[in-house]
Amino acid sequence: MTRQARTDKSFPAAGGQPAAAPEELAILGIGLPAWNRLLLVAGLVALVVLPFLVEGFTTFQMTQVAIYAIAILGLNLLTGYNGQFSLGHSAFFAVGAYTAAIAMNHFGLPYLLTLPLAAVISFLVGFAFGFPALRLEGLYLALATFMLAIAAPQLLKFSLFEPLTGGAQGLVLMRPEAPAFTGLDDDQWLYFISVIVMLALFWLSGNLIRYRIGRAIMAIRDNPLVASALGINTPLYKTVMFGISAAYTGVAGALSAMVVGFVAPDSFNFLLSVALLVGVVVGGIASMRGAIFGGFFILYIPTVAESFADVFSKGLSWAAYGVLLLAVIYVMPSGISGLIDAVIRRIAQPKQAPRRTDPAADVATAGPGPSNREKK
């Protein structure tokens, strides 16, 4: 007797029944992957159209959001994905900004070439700092990076470096001008440069997290001892991630120097490190899209808090900022990105497969009847 062919490709579960395939979630009958693609396309269109719909100062603010998003993404790679806590990323921001400023002012390097240069130098600084920090974890690592954030502005004011850095007065830069053939003004040109760099770095981060190095750094974050037992070179990965995170933040600093047209040591104080960390937490830890939400938060919420405090007293701006921050963390403990995921899980429904209406298909699914049994 011949064997009956299998009509499904699922593996049998306990009891001999085929394992159920995971249900695809949908909103309004459209699967979540399709929604992700639609939102991605809509977001890209919005990024392209936005500078033509708003005034110059708003375009400048949107450029700053993109720059902050890059810096927050770099810190999130280190803290959210690798589990290393840092309060010193203002120093890496300063390294990138001063690298671009010195290269443009003293050596005449084209402004676009300062971006990879800032990335390389910031990576080397972060990598070098990562070695002595290997034996530090938790609060001790936070204190070491805090020292870095405090020392960076003082080093930039040091008289030995003053011919390059400009000392406490800083450096004034010529803002890049838009090429004539683009038809853009300077603010729009810098906006598109910042957005293109941001999208490229987000794409690189996505590939970094999806593949081997991403799985390795997340294993180190979750359980360093198990990761070492599995053969992962924990010291190397932790040091490299410090360098990569610093490179991202350095690129953000270089873009900031171009956009603002000025760098000074006091612009890169400890409060900038705190702001970047707040952006990571508010946007969502270990969430790449959360970096964009964090960029909006650290740019606009201080202004909102100041406006709110002026109603009562002009000296309460930081108190109002603290109240708003506490409210956001209380309402969204997993960040804005986590809140969005929770809302999607609540409103999404399992996508129902279309019912069969072909009688012939139903007969074929039912299997052979008594009249079709094979004769021995």
Domain residue limits, the chain: 26-350
The pLDDT confidence band at residue 14, using thresholds 50, 70 and 90, is very low
Residue 305 pLDDT: 84
Question: Is pLDDT of 65 > 70?
Answer: yes
The gap between the terminal CA atoms of the chain, to the nearest Å, is: 6
CATH architecture for the domain at 26-350? Orthogonal Bundle (1.10)
Residue 231 per-residue DSSP state: T
Statement: residue 270 has pLDDT above 90: yes
pLDDT at residue 24, rounded to an integer: 64
The mean per-residue pLDDT over the stretch 125-146 comes to 84
Q: What is the DSSP letter of 172?
A: E
Mean pLDDT (the chain) is: 84
Number of neighbouring beta carbons within 10 Å of residue 197? 19
Rounded Cα distance, 66 and 291, in Å? 9
Report the largest interatomic distance among the alpha carbons of the chain, rounded to a whole angstrom.
101
Full-model pTM: 0.85
Q: What is the mean pLDDT of residues 157-177?
A: 91
How much is the average pLDDT of 305-324?
Answer: 79
CA distance 153 to 166: 12
What number is the average pLDDT over the span 214-237? 90
**pLDDT attached to residue 13:** 46
The answer to whether residue 134 scores a pLDDT higher than 80 is no
**Continuous segment of H or E residues that includes residue 106:** none
Q: Average pLDDT for residues 79-91, to the nearest whole number?
A: 92
Name the CA dihedral angle for 296, 297, 300, 303, rounded to a multiple of 10 degrees.
-170
Would you give the DSSP letter of residue 268? Answer: G
Of 339, 308, 338, the C-alpha closest to 323 is 308
C-alpha distances in angstroms, 27 versus 44, 60, 345, 347? 22, 36, 10, 7
